[in-house]
Structure 1
Amino acid sequence: MPEPVALASPLARVHARVGATFTTFGGWRMPLRYAGHLAEHHAVRTAAGLFDLSHMGELVVDGLQAAAFLDYALVLDATGMEVGRARYTLICDERGGVLDDLLVYRVAEQEFLVVANASNVGLVHDALLARLGGHEAGLRDASAEYALLAVQGPRAAAVLGPLAGVDLAGIRRYRCATSTVAGRPALLGRTGYTGEDGFELYLAPADAQVVWDAVLAAGAPHGLVPAGLACRDTLRLEAGMALYGHELTPAVTPFQARLGWTVRLNKACGFVGRAALEASAADPRGSVLVGLTGTGRRAAREGSRVLDPASGEAVGTVTSGVLSPTLRHPIALAYVEPAYAAAGTDVDVDVRGSVSRYQVVEPPFYRPPTKPAETG
């Protein structure tokens, strides 16, 4: 059978015109890199990068019981969110396995924007629909109504400030505001997936090019460059952030994935997966996610075996690994047996047939020198 046609960003022609290299990701044809992913990575760490993330999916949940519905369907406390807040959260199955990781914005008293990974939009929509039950709430896949851009890096606020119709200082980390950018309506969230300060801009697709061009022009004096998915992956890994399909799958619970803090077990209501998650919180059976750092230049990759240094027996598996562009040594995330999960533990990793010594560490591997104020 012929391969399905990949979806295209509203900025596809813009990317092609500046020589982007494309990849298919989550059913979309998206820019992988422009001038080179190392240069783009360093620009985000030292100045700013502009990302097209229009492959992400957006679901609108609204109605009188919108918050109560999300309390039941997800692991977060939506009722306790103020308007203008954003939360990183998870949707789990009845066994506590992770179906996807999500960003949830409360944009109005009775309206939430749920942002899902591109490959999981249909799955998340269907899971939410199945959980809607008797809740007085609506659910709509609004993905086609949005383009999504991200400005990330220590100069992000300086780049975006003159273009935004709101004082960005008033939008703290994991908060959002409805405003304008370059005169076009936008939802601005101080959120991101790079470990740096930054903003994500939800726009009408027809406005994407105007805003893209305006941000590039405003950012040029600050060192901003267009950045692709390749550097986004190395940035998120340095920041110790999980990627669905690698660190997150239905086979692991949030407590195995070091994301137990997202699960609000103290919610008054029952929610999908609660019993399994309470059991996992008390005893997270199975492998647990850890960070690994090595020396030299040989990076572990997904699927590399983690070994006991004395016996050579396999005790875990690498889920993501790279030679860190910022730190200049190998880093990885891996699931290992609990006996090997303590920080400071030495392990070996089979890197393409050669054994390399790694040490277990607490992610993130990299923290920026300064960060915007965090929220609770």
Structure 2
Amino acid sequence: MELKTPLYDAHVKAGGKIVPFAGYLLPVQYETGVIKEHMAVRTQAGLFDVSHMGEILCEGKDALVNLQHILTNDFTNMVDGQARYSPMCNENGGTVDDLIVYKRSDDHYFIVVNAANKDKDYQWMLAHQSGEVTFTDVSDQYGQIALQGPKAMEILRKLTTEENIPKKYYHAVFGAEVAGMPCIVSKTGYTGEDGVEIYLASGLAEKMWETLLEAGKEEGLIPCGLGARDTLRMEAAMPLYGHEMDDEVSPLETGLNFGVKMKKDEFIGKKAIEDRGTPKIERIGLKVTGRGIIREHQDLYAGDQKIGHTTSGTHCPYLGYPIAMALVDAGSVAIGDKVEADVRGRRVEAEVVQLPFYKRAK
């Protein structure tokens, strides 16, 4: 049976089209539709319910030692309030999940994991913990709301003061207050736009949601569903677990080298990644030039040679054309090359392009 987020009633009231996703009932879109929601985030602002994401605390004298062992990134030089993205690998070098770690203090870290993997990730952490450390799944205690778009910060400033707003990207203010409600304000997101993610007690989530929507009326703020969340992350070429990576694909094979610190003494999967050698597959971006939309799991060809398969694909409202990402044999194609995807027995042409497809102007 699917769970409901603390904002379920607000979505129903606002006409959200509810679908099951990662074990939760969430709005895929509202009556405005995916295209308008997507464009609102690119040009004004959009509000997302991301309360289905998981939150895990890592606390104790050996908290850092555990993170260094279980995750591929390096957390030794973080300052309090800083966030860092990291893959988490299995012993074979495949990806268990990708997640974000926030440092609250030397012995207290706040970890945000993908909804579909929450239980698996938590069990993985428990199975690989050592020394004086406690991992606690606190997901049920939190609601999470993402305010995203070029006008997001303008809206936020109506409800709080500067000391509650992180100064830099991938930083958070713990013990912040927005509209009088205690919360964590994090300068992060999954849309390629400016904005924040707000974590707060689940009982306050609906009040915060309504307050933000009211405050953002003049700026054109609207609620957005899973559909727009996916098209936005696609334009920004942000990988999604289960698509661009999984238990078989290593972070290096999907272009997440920045989150894998091979100079670290050790981490789970390091030896296997070294043994794999230079990655034999790579993630590429495709602009569809033929007729049709290329979706996931479609075979990709360069001439008659099968070179890989697509991992995600959609029509992108802001760019105005269909795009896809794919995992292909390393070095099989270069930027500007033409390829073809097999879409239900019909070949659809695409051009290999630079990632990300969309990058916001600073």
In the alignment, which of 232, 235, 239 is matched to residue 235 of structure 1? 232
Spell out structure 1 runs of 4+ moving beyond 3 A: 165-170
Distance 1:199 1:261 in 2: 22
Q: Conserved in 2, the CA contact under 8 Å of 1:37 and 1:228?
A: yes
Distance 1:59 1:74 in 2: 14
Residue 146 (structure 1) aligns with: 142
Distance 2:165 2:113 in 1: 27
Asked whether 1:13 is paired with 2:5, we answer no
CA shift, 1:221, in A, is 0.5
Residue 204 (structure 1) aligns with: 201
Q: Deviations over 1:147-204 (max 9, x none)?
A: 0000001111001112124446642100000201111111111000000011000100
Matched residue pairs, number? 360
Q: Conserved in 2, the CA contact under 8 Å of 1:99 and 1:249?
A: yes
Distance 1:172 1:100 in 2: 25
After the TM superposition, which of the residue ranges 269-278 and 12-21 deviates more from structure 2?
269-278
In the alignment, which of 264, 272, 283 is matched to residue 289 of structure 1? 283
Amino acid corresponding to residue 42 of structure 1 in structure 2: M
Amino acid corresponding to residue 153 of structure 1 in structure 2: G
Distance 1:7 1:315 in 2: 40
Q: Deviations over 1:72-116 (max 9, x none)?
A: 110111222111100111110011100111011112221111111
Assess, with a 3 A threshold, how the Cα gap between structure 1 residues 165 and 68 changes in structure 2: closer, same or farther. Answer: farther
Q: Conserved in 2, the CA contact under 8 Å of 1:88 and 1:103?
A: yes
Distance 1:200 1:254 in 2: 25
Distance 1:351 1:328 in 2: 20
Q: What secondary structure is seen at the aligned counterpart in 1 of 2:51?
A: coil
Q: Deviations over 1:195-239 (max 9, x none)?
A: 001100010011111111110011111111000110000000000
Distance 2:63 2:331 in 1: 42
Q: Conserved in 1, the CA contact under 8 Å of 2:84 and 2:102?
A: yes
Q: Conserved in 2, the CA contact under 8 Å of 1:15 and 1:31?
A: yes
Residue 61 (structure 1) aligns with: 58
With the length of structure 2 as denominator, give the TM-score of the two structures.
0.96
Distance 1:43 1:288 in 2: 32
Q: What secondary structure is seen at the aligned counterpart in 1 of 2:233?
A: helix
After the TM superposition, which of the residue ranges 249-258 and 270-279 deviates more from structure 2?
270-279
Q: Conserved in 2, the CA contact under 8 Å of 1:297 and 1:323?
A: no
Q: What secondary structure is seen at the aligned counterpart in 2 of 1:339?
A: coil
CA shift, 1:266, in A, is 1.7
Q: Conserved in 1, the CA contact under 8 Å of 2:165 and 2:173?
A: no
Matches within 5 A, 1:23-62: 23-34=19-30, 35-62=32-59
Matches within 5 A, 1:79-228: 79-133=76-130, 135-167=131-163, 170-178=166-174, 179-228=176-225
Q: Conserved in 1, the CA contact under 8 Å of 2:86 and 2:101?
A: yes
Asked whether 1:340 is paired with 2:332, we answer yes
Amino acid corresponding to residue 22 of structure 2 in structure 1: G
Residue 244 (structure 1) aligns with: 241
Where does structure 2 lack aligned partners over 5 or more consecutive residues? none
Distance 2:283 2:229 in 1: 21
Alpha-carbon RMSD across the aligned residues, in angstroms, is 1.4
Amino acid corresponding to residue 290 of structure 1 in structure 2: I
In the alignment, which of 254, 259, 264 is matched to residue 262 of structure 1? 259
Assess, with a 3 A threshold, how the Cα gap between structure 1 residues 339 and 354 changes in structure 2: closer, same or farther. Answer: same
Distance 2:159 2:361 in 1: 26
Residue 272 (structure 1) aligns with: 268
Amino acid corresponding to residue 145 of structure 2 in structure 1: L
Q: Conserved in 1, the CA contact under 8 Å of 2:47 and 2:146?
A: yes
Residue 304 (structure 1) aligns with: 298
Amino acid corresponding to residue 21 of structure 2 in structure 1: F
Q: Conserved in 1, the CA contact under 8 Å of 2:166 and 2:172?
A: no
Distance 1:297 1:189 in 2: 41
Distance 2:65 2:341 in 1: 46
Distance 1:88 1:158 in 2: 26
Percent of pairs identical after alignment? 40
Q: What secondary structure is seen at the aligned counterpart in 1 of 2:128?
A: helix
